[in-house]
Amino acid sequence: MTHTATTPTVQLSRPLRGEDLRAAAGPLHVAVDERVAARLGRGREHLRAVLADDERPVYGAKTGFGALVGFAGRADEADQCDNTLAHLGAGQGPDLPLPVVRAALLVRAWSLAQGLSGVSPHVVEGVAAMFGSTFTPAVPRHGSVGASGDLIPLAYAAQALRGRGSAYVDGVRLPAADALERVGLAPLELDGRDALALVNGTSVTTAALSLALDRVRACHRAAQDLTCLLADLLGCAPAFLDARLLGAFAHPGAAVVGERMRGVLAGVRASGERPLQEPYSLRCSPQLLGAAEDALRYADGVVAADLAGVSDNPLFFPDDDAVVHGGNFFGQPAAYAGDVLAAVAASVGNLVERQLDLLVDPGRNTGLPPMLAAGPGQQHGLQGVQLATTALVAELRRTAVPASTQSLPTNLHNQDVVPFGTQAALRSHDGAELLWLLCGSLALGLRQAAHVGARRPTAAGTAALLDRLAAAIPPVDPDRPLDAEVRLAAELVTGLGC
């Protein structure tokens, strides 16, 4: 593949970062340097020595899979590969978002590149080469319990890289063999150990969780900014952000959020027309958003560990001549973090929706017209948008039902406990998208409030935010469909697209 000066580069010899996974949505240069090649060669040589020893068992290379581990596997390595992947072709549902699939394969490539999985060097090189194109396997959403890795979704990815199943090129779904030919990639050849190593990790879970965390963090910052703009437009006193008050609260997240919001509101002047104590959606916003900050820091730690960890079974340690069978494919940390992230999205989304409800209510918005309509009755302003936000919050609450507590035994009780980390991560990914739309809805409402009589913001930070919105979005006067402008406003305040 040809790489331009503007193509991002990821080195598999260093730990992955969240920005690497975001960059994987488009063409990316994934570098397999000499250190990685040496690790892979040493690991592969060790695997060969172990497989040659009839006295040393190796799960999935010499045996059947899962509950059938007590039976011998296929003697031919190509047959063992086919058997590994064929029986996992049981996924259902819509295809996963393409950025999630590409991010998952980057996570998988990094894990394999650490040399502890015994894979053929050309496997890592082949996955790395995929990123120079827009080739993306078509992977169904449903099928993983996140307990032996994301077996079923990663099997679809592996099959596509072999030229089987389906894949996307430039967003168009094609037979995988045609897609590979279109981008100039050769089908990936795998043996039994290669195939198992590709599927036996929680890479889909990690990828979805990392991408969700990025979006929720961006929305969390946007919610702070939008709260400040709401307070300034309405003329609220900034006492709810007082450093002494939040210091006495003693929660670090509240102090961090309060400091940032005070910076956005620097120079604000209260109108003197608001009640002594604002509704909780304003007055308690630093406490709520601060608690979200503390929770997000927990998720930060889980994602960082997942991106720096090897997820597979068994692991091969050439320096110790050891093959260790265990459970490094068990996605419990991501399950907890995904549930926490979904809860954060739901609570911050509820806050944003309540703030929009306050803004459109003439009984609480310092006399602005109902629904921020330029001509109430003849026009309806934000009425449709406000109605849609109610539906979005209801959907957010559904996505926040914990997945990590839903363990069900499967696989003849070989997997008698499972984390459902994949479901937790994908639900948090869904919730992040809904939260993004809610932020766009409030941003659109604030822009409209300035048109129908709200005062000019008195703080430089809030004035700049309003000006940026006003420059991109005309007033709602007369009424018009606002679906696209909700998304535009969300992009403006979060810095992230759809």
Residue positions annotated with a catalytic role: 59
Q: What are phi and psi of 228, to 5 degrees?
A: -65, -45
The encoded tokens of residue 422 equal: 């994949």
Three-state secondary structure string covering 415-467: ECCCCCHHHHHHHHHHHHHHHHHHHHHHHHHHHHHHHCCCCCCCCHHHHHHHH
Q: CA dist 410 to 86, 148, 228, 417, 419, Å?
A: 19, 11, 49, 8, 12
Q: Is the peptide bond before 478 cis (omega within 30 degrees of 0)?
A: yes
* CA dist list (Å): 301 to 213, 305, 312: 11, 6, 20
Per-residue buried b or exposed e for 404-423, using 16+ beta carbons within 10 Å of the residue's own CB: beebeebbeeebeebbbbbb
Question: Which residue is associated with the tokens 């102090």?
Answer: 255
Residue 176: count of CB within 10 angstroms of its CB? 24
C-alpha–C-alpha distance, residues 457 and 465, integer Å:
10
Please state, in angstroms and rounded to a whole number, the distance separating the CA atoms of residues 101 and 94: 13
Please tell me what DSSP assigns to residue 162: T
Taking CA atoms, 362 is separated from 350, 358, 366, in Å, by 20, 8, 7
Q: Which two tokens stand for residue 157?
A: 């990815």
**Numbers of helices and strands, H then E, in the chain:** 18, 9
Residues 6 or more apart in contact with residue 254 via CB below 8 angstroms: 246, 286, 287, 289, 290, 291, 293
Dihedral angle over CA of 140, 144, 148, 150, nearest 10: 30
